Chains A and B, each alone.
Chain A
Amino acid sequence: MRLSRRGLLRAGLGGTAATALGGLATGCAVPTGSTGRNMVLWYWSGGLSDTVVKNAKARYGSSVSLDAIQIGGQYRSKLITTITGRAHIPDIAGLKGEDMAAYLPNADQFIDLRTLGAEKYKSQYLSWKWDQGIADDGTMVGFPIDCGPVGHFYQYEIFRKAGLPYEPDDVSKELNTWENYFAAGEQLRKRIPGTMLLTDVNSVFENVVQQGSKRYVDKDRHFIGDQEHVRNAWALAVEAKRRGIVSDLVSGTPDQLSAKQDGKLPSELGASWAAFDIKNGVPKAKGRYRVAQMPVRPANNGGSFLSITKACREPEQAFQIIAWILDASNQAQGYVDAGLFPSTPASYGLKQMREPDPYFGGQVTTDIFGPAAQKIVVAYNSPFDVALGQPIKDEIKNVGVLGKDPEKAWSDAMSKCRRIAKHLGVSY
């Protein structure tokens, strides 16, 4: 993790010294981007289907040698550092969905995909996902990889025992408002003592915010986290706490996993990729889970993009490769290999995506996530959203976990947001 200076010295004194000398003396003699036949693609483990990447190498091998590198650790930091360092920049770079807000204001570091004929492909992709890859000035930075439609994962038998709807269609239909969902939680706790509907209040808060078309900062760099859409999400999270349907467990801990396994936490709202987390976390619950639509309307959580950097010498060739890697049949393969839910609706009817999933009692989960993905609305994602959303998320967590007074928590969150907004030059 931490490498001491001495350790570094011991590790490769001569070589490093030579590199340091060369690097210091000839600042600009390092090649930027690719040379000739070589084309470098950066992505992260699980970011693309390895099968598809392998096929792409073979398919385009006659014209370029595609060098796909999986970058570990802090992907965004490494990419930003490399671009800023202006050396060894990949030609094609994966961009994580949650980082798009950081990349889009710097669209000039990427090639505008519209200039390479991206518009031709637009109709094949989810329109909201397509728009997420486009900067304020209209530059198309990211080409859609996957998306993360959120569904309601629940345990069939437990719901049945509690007298709740238990068939996926009925759950989708009847638990279609937050009120009905919370009421189901109360019934669950009454019928099966010790059973909680929600792990924490943050799952309510964040899902409600993500269902909406606004977040914390708007296009005009104005703070909107004090408005109705956030207040409403806050109120619902507080409501869930008040009704006593929230556990005191921490999500992602062994405690939570054992509670899921014992049926004490039989419900969770999670994106399509959470199916893999559930399978890995509670393998013994095989056959007990089903998926339904989440209350009110689907939300999106996650999903990534591929981009072509300014350093790329052969953008047309790179774009060809991207468009092929992310076409409908390859995206279906991405779902099979890495759980990447396709952004190409044409994939949803393909055989790989229609496989009954034994973990979900033979349910075809695409029947839930496919329609959900097509109903999503997304909000403008400002580069200041993370900094200005954090105090509100922190304070709702204090309400949920530490039992802080909601009124006090809200006013603390707002005063902190004001302070941060002023610091970041966001109007309030």
Chain B
Amino acid sequence: MAVLEQTPPAVVQPSPTRPKKGLRKYWHLYAAISPFYLIFLGFGLFPVGFSLYLSFHRWDGLGSMEWAGLSQYQYLLSDSDFWNSIGNTIIIWALATFPMIFLAMVTAVMLNSAVRFKGLYRVAYFLPNVTSVVAIAIVFGSIFSTNSGVVNAVLHSVGIDQVAWLNTPWGIKVTIAALMTWQWTGYNAIIFLAGLQTVPGELYEAARMDGAGPIQTFFRITLPLLRPTLLFVLVVSTVTGLQSFSEPQVLLQTSSNDSTFAGGPGHSGQTMVLYFFQQTFDNNDFGYGAAVAWGIFLVVVLFSIINWRLVQRRGD
């Protein structure tokens, strides 16, 4: 540090106590908003900070903590299972999200043009989203089972061989993605529908006057105006997709001796959060689990930045 002044610093007179006065004057307002901040401090910020502290230690959850320095993170970078779980998560997310957005868009356009029973359709399409994931996963487990599953029965009837959906690396990913697609299509269709209804009717009339067909109208008017909605849906799907845990966990539970977080043969369905659970709760390795959690955090941050860039580009 450079020395800036040779003379001893003058004693700084406290400035008129404006902030304190504010606090005294508005204390009841601060008190009114304090519950959120206190709870966030206790149940949000502190655990987050503690998990960072924990990730520099070795801890079995009961005994004493040992300082581990950066070794948990060094191991994380060399851990092929962790990279594998990131790959799985992204593949499953892609397999689920793009068909889902397409289907949701089609559904929304259809709902937008439907005249009767609009409310009923909306409720029906929204239902999968409020159904318990565990229940859905159990049903999907039956639908995709090798011998007694509906999917294989349909394939068989058109002369295609059985697929061992829950026993092959790609089968597992497709099944999980199908489950997520089914769960989120209706929800996003409702969002798209809201977006569609903000498109002014006179634009469509003008298009009709100019002789545009329905396809042209969709691509030239509806889609560009839906872009903000589309981005919103994409961002939300990314956040939920990267956190997928219950779907593979319930789908791929096998015998009681097997880890419930292993994600099936070859860890093919082991998502990032599943891997975090396996390291933390199967192996009692809380320090490494915390490091994995921060690894997941960085991946999510990376995706958020990409998303943000996409959103920023909208302003051009």
Contacts and interface: CB of A to CB of B under 8 A. Distances in A.
Q: Do A and B bind each other?
A: yes
Interface of A: 1, 5, 8-9, 13-14, 16-17, 20-21, 23-24, 74, 76-77, 80-81, 83-84, 102-103, 105-106, 109, 202-203, 206, 248-255, 258-259, 301-302, 383, 386-387, 390, 393-394, 397-398, 401-402, 416, 419, 423-424
A13 B265 CA distance: 45
Given A249-B147, A394-B262, A423-B71, 12 more contacts: A9-B35, A17-B35, A20-B38, A24-B41, A106-B62, A109-B62, A252-B253, A258-B148, A386-B282, A394-B266, A401-B266, A402-B266
Nearest to B81: A416
B255 interface: yes
Pick the 7 closest A-B CB pairs, nearest first.
Answer: A17-B35, A106-B62, A251-B255, A387-B283, A401-B265, A80-B61, A255-B145
Contacts of B41: 20, 24
A21 B146 CA distance: 54
Contact of B39 (A17, A74, A103): A17
Contacts of A401: 167, 265-266
Contacts of B60: 102, 105-106, 383
B304 interface: no
Contact of A102 (B40, B141, B255, B284): B284
A254 B138 CA distance: 10
B119 to A, nearest CB: 26
Interface residues of B, number: 51
Contact of A254 (B40, B43, B141): B141
B78 A74 contact: no
A17 B34 contact: yes
Interface string B13-40: 0000000000000000000001110111
B253 A20 contact: no
B282 A84 contact: no
The CB with the most chain A CB atoms within 10 A, among B80, B141, B167, B266, is that of B167
Interface string B262-292: 1001110000000000000111110010000
B288 A423 contact: yes
Given A16-B39, A24-B38, A393 B61 contact: no
B167 A250 contact: yes
Contacts of A1: 133-134, 246
A81 B286 CA distance: 12
A162 B78 CA distance: 52
B257 A301 contact: yes
Contacts of B166: 250, 253
B36 A9 contact: yes
Given A20-B42, A74-B281, A250-B167, A84 B61 contact: yes
26 contacts: A9-B36, A20-B35, A20-B39, A24-B42, A77-B281, A81-B61, A84-B61, A102-B284, A106-B62, A202-B257, A203-B255, A248-B164, A250-B146, A252-B254, A254-B145, A254-B148, A386-B259, A386-B284, A390-B259, A390-B282, A393-B258, A394-B266, A398-B265, A401-B167, A402-B266, A419-B79
Contact of B255 (A84, A252, A383, A394): A252
Contacts of A259: 147
B168 interface: yes
B146 A255 contact: yes
Nearest to A425: B58
B233 to A, nearest CB: 19
Nearest to B76: A423
B146 A249 contact: yes
Contacts of A424: 285
Contact of B265 (A17, A21, A24, A402): A402
Given A84-B61, A106-B60, A255-B145, A9 B39 contact: yes
Interface string B219-244: 00000000000000000000000000
A80 B285 CA distance: 13
Contacts of A77: 61, 281
Interface of B: 34-36, 38-44, 60-63, 71, 75, 78-80, 133-134, 141-142, 145-149, 164, 166-169, 246, 253-259, 262, 265-267, 281-285, 288
Contacts of B146: 248-250, 255
Contacts of A253: 141, 145, 166, 254
A81 B61 CA distance: 8
B265 A419 contact: no
Contacts of B35: 9, 13-14, 16-17, 20
Contacts of B288: 423
A136 B146 CA distance: 46
A248 B267 contact: no
Contacts of A102: 60-62, 284
B133 to A, nearest CB: 7
Contacts of B256: 302
B261 to A, nearest CB: 10
A81 B281 CA distance: 12
Contacts of B262: 390, 394
Given A16-B35, A20-B38, A419 B62 contact: no
Nearest to B282: A386
Given A1-B246, A102-B60, A202-B258, A23 B168 contact: no
Contacts of A80: 61-62
Contacts of A202: 255, 257-258
A9 B39 CA distance: 8
B42 A250 contact: no
Contacts of B40: 5
A271 B180 CA distance: 36
A302 B255 CA distance: 13
A39 B288 CA distance: 36
A250 B254 contact: yes
Nearest to B164: A248
Contacts of B80: 416
A24 B284 CA distance: 27
A23 B41 CA distance: 12
Contacts of A386: 259, 282-284
A19 B164 CA distance: 51
Contacts of B34: 17
A259 B164 CA distance: 15
B266 to A, nearest CB: 5
B291 to A, nearest CB: 11
A250 B61 CA distance: 33
Nearest to A9: B36
Given A20-B39, A24-B42, A84 B62 contact: yes
